[in-house]
């Protein structure tokens, strides 16, 4: 029979594990997105002559 203490420890471990997997999943998604953007930049660089300047300041009308 599982004691209450053991059950609490197990749920605690599972919660931690879930948190880790969620952050890992989010990071993987971000990583894939980042790589995709990088790939797009490279393909654009090939098609468009000259440099692509990414401005940090917002466009002024």
Would residue 12 count as lying in a domain?
A: yes
Would residue 31 count as lying in a domain?
A: yes
Would residue 28 count as lying in a domain?
A: yes
| pLDDT reported for residue 4 | 67
Would residue 20 count as lying in a domain?
A: yes
What range defines the domain where residue 29 resides? 1-46
d(CA 17, CA 25): 12
Name the token pair of 56: 């940090």
Q: Which residue has the higher pLDDT, 31 or 58?
A: 31
Would residue 36 count as lying in a domain?
A: yes
Would residue 58 count as lying in a domain?
A: no
Q: Does 49 score more than 60 pLDDT?
A: no
| pLDDT reported for residue 34 | 73
Which 3 state secondary structure label does DSSP give 3?
Answer: coil
Which 3 state secondary structure label does DSSP give 28?
Answer: helix
Q: Which residue has the higher pLDDT, 2 or 30?
A: 30
Would residue 42 count as lying in a domain?
A: yes
Number of domains within the chain: 1
């Amino acid at each position: 029979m599982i004691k209450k203490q053991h059950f609490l420890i197990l749920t605690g471990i599972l919660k931690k594990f879930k948190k880790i997997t969620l952050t890992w999943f989010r990071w993987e998604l971000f990583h894939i997105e980042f790589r995709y953007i990088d790939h797009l930049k490279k393909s654009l660089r090939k098609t468009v002559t000259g440099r692509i300047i990414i401005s940090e300041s917002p466009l002024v009308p």
